[in-house]
Structure 1
């Protein structure tokens, strides 16, 4: 009974069907019909003009998006526990040719105008310091907490005041939108770029970089090629994205994952380290309790000395979620 990660979940059958349907001759790279249609689909979804490019991984999506905003001598304000800082093996510095991550604090791995302002206020020595050029936030955060539209608006206003780009790492963007009960546009707020995650939400190997500043799309195309992410049979990545967008499968899957997590959260009660908002739970658990759960067949990651991380997916068996909730309640 697996609660390690939504990355470990199976691919949704509709994506396999879409890729099989795309398995016919077409023009290569991103000139095929499916890839060319992505801009229009996301423009309709977000209600403002955007350019959408596929890549294979979330790390590439994040870093290529930021590379359109930040010079090699510039910096990106992000949370000290953000994925770009903790889990991308220095990829931002690689893709951004030496640009620096400027680390801020915040409860639940969320940034606020105040914590961002603390970082910006320390940059006072002109050419001797790295200038901030972008802010990167995660929707939902590394601890599964969502930015409400008013919080996004406040951070966006700060970004505009300081002339900074705003990037959203949306690895679990669908789960956030499902929890908030808002439109994709409201869940993205005033972002200049969004890494729209699909792999954790039933996808196989395609993420979308959404640029709301469409003038930077040509730069991104060159950077994607230079980074080795311009796949010759890109229609198969585009097919996955279209399948996820058709009939809002991305939202249906996210709701299913969130619902499975809610079953467990109810049983966890006061053990929850952070509020249960999406499909990611952090639960206080001592060593003996962890061993007891594993002995019953549950798999999960130890997060720190006092908690475990439990992640559900679109495919989580609710019987497994029920069994885990009962096991936790009986500890």
Structure 2
């Protein structure tokens, strides 16, 4: 009954096998290997972006920060949703990497940016043609969002139109977003300047890719990557993971499984009286249940996170507490059903 995070699941066997194969013999260092070259071509084909620049990375936070640090000057402003990972969970890494650029968190529709609010805020900041102001530089989106909601391609296009700025996408759960939307990778990324493509949450060991659809910040990104310690000497092991992840659409198979288990869990929770706080578009489910049911489930071994709920053991037993449940590629129907049974009186 492990639903704490998709980071806690294991590595898919096909990806582990690919690591073993990549371990045979010698290969040039620092992404000069054949796996990394093949990865670049594979992602260019996938996104229909023949000029895209691709780098294997090992950390989602490092990828986000290095890309945004290359996309904005130290005096610029990066707009994001107030619940974005770069705002809530990355310890000011974007200002650190950029040398001072500020994040501008905005409210929106649940956990998604609202185009008109974004347009208004950027226009107001641009109107301050003032040496004292930080000018607009970029927008960062997360898909799926931190609360499991989905941006469809038309919504991303609306944000691109509203902002008129380079768009970065935190794609830690990009595979889940593609599987949930039915959109092609090109449709989902055609408005983007940069993508942090995450595989770690969807079956890999430690594998991310930085993708610059606009190659202009490429040299700046190379410097960010080097200075921050993300120029991996044995990059072939990351690239080999990503190639196995992409082979025969394994990435979509794993994301589809995780999303299906998220849907099963969302339905089951509502049937036992839970209230969903956000759209459960993929593999994340946020639901409110009485404190007494959380105590029962936890006592029976259920593993998940309460979300801003304070002390589980103190308070009204009937008070609804918000919790986050995350299904992974390895979650089964039996796992979901066992968790639901743990909430029964």
TM surpasses 0.5: yes
Aligned counterpart, 1:21: 21
State the shift of 1:293 in Å.
0.9
Tell me whether 1:316 sits opposite 2:331 in the alignment.
yes
1:88 aligns with 2:103: no
Task: Check the 8 A contact 1:3/1:310 in 2, yes or no.
Answer: yes
State the 1:52 CA deviation.
Answer: 1.1
* Structure 2 Cα separation of the partners of residues 142 and 115 of structure 1: 19
Count of residues paired in the alignment = 327
Q: Provide the TM-score with structure 1 as the length reference.
A: 0.95
Unaligned runs of 5+ in 1: none
Higher mean C-alpha deviation, range 266-275 or range 222-231:
266-275
Partners in 1 of 2:292 and 2:117 — Cα distance? 37
Looking at structure 1, the residues matched to 267 and 203 of structure 2 have their Cα atoms a distance apart, in angstroms, of 25
Worse overlay, 112-121 or 83-92: 112-121
Asked if structure 2 preserves the Cα contact closer than 8 Å seen for 1:102 and 1:119, the reply is no
Counterpart for residue 312 of structure 2:
none
Q: Of 154, 157, 161, which residue of structure 2 is paired with 1:153?
A: 157
Q: Match for residue 229 of structure 2?
A: 228
**CA–CA separation in structure 2 for the residues paired with 1:238 and 1:149:** 27
- Aligned residues: CA RMSD: 1.3
Alignment of 1:50-129 (within 5 A): 50-123=52-125, 124-125=127-128, 126-129=130-133
Q: In structure 1, what is the Cα distance between the partners aligned to 2:39 and 2:215?
A: 13
Seen in structure 2, the aligned counterparts of structure 1 residues 189 and 293 have a Cα distance that, compared at 3 Å, is farther
Structure 2: which 5+ residue stretches go unaligned?
310-320
Residue 217 of structure 1: how far off its partner (Å): 2.4
Question: 1:48, 1:55 → 2: CA distance?
Answer: 19
Distance in structure 2 (CA, Å) of the matches to 1:115 and 1:325:
39
| Aligned equivalents of 1:327, 1:261: Cα separation in 2 | 17
Please identify which structure carries the higher helix content: 1
Match of 2:308 among 304, 311, 317: 304
Alpha-carbon distance between aligned partners in 1 of 2:217 and 2:31, rounded to the nearest angstrom: 17
Q: Residues 129-144 of structure 1 correspond to what in structure 2 (within 5 A)?
A: 129-144=133-148
- Asked if 1:281 is matched to 2:296, the reply is no
Shift of 1:326: 3.7
Give the drift of 1:285: 1.7
In the other structure, the counterpart of 1:184 is 185
CA-to-aligned-CA distance 1:185-231 (integer Å, 9 cap, x gap): 12224111011110000111110111101233233222211110111
Cα distance in 2 between the residues matched to 1:299 and 1:19: 30
Name the CA distance, whole Å, in 2 between partners of 1:325 and 1:182.
31
TM-score (norm 2): 0.92
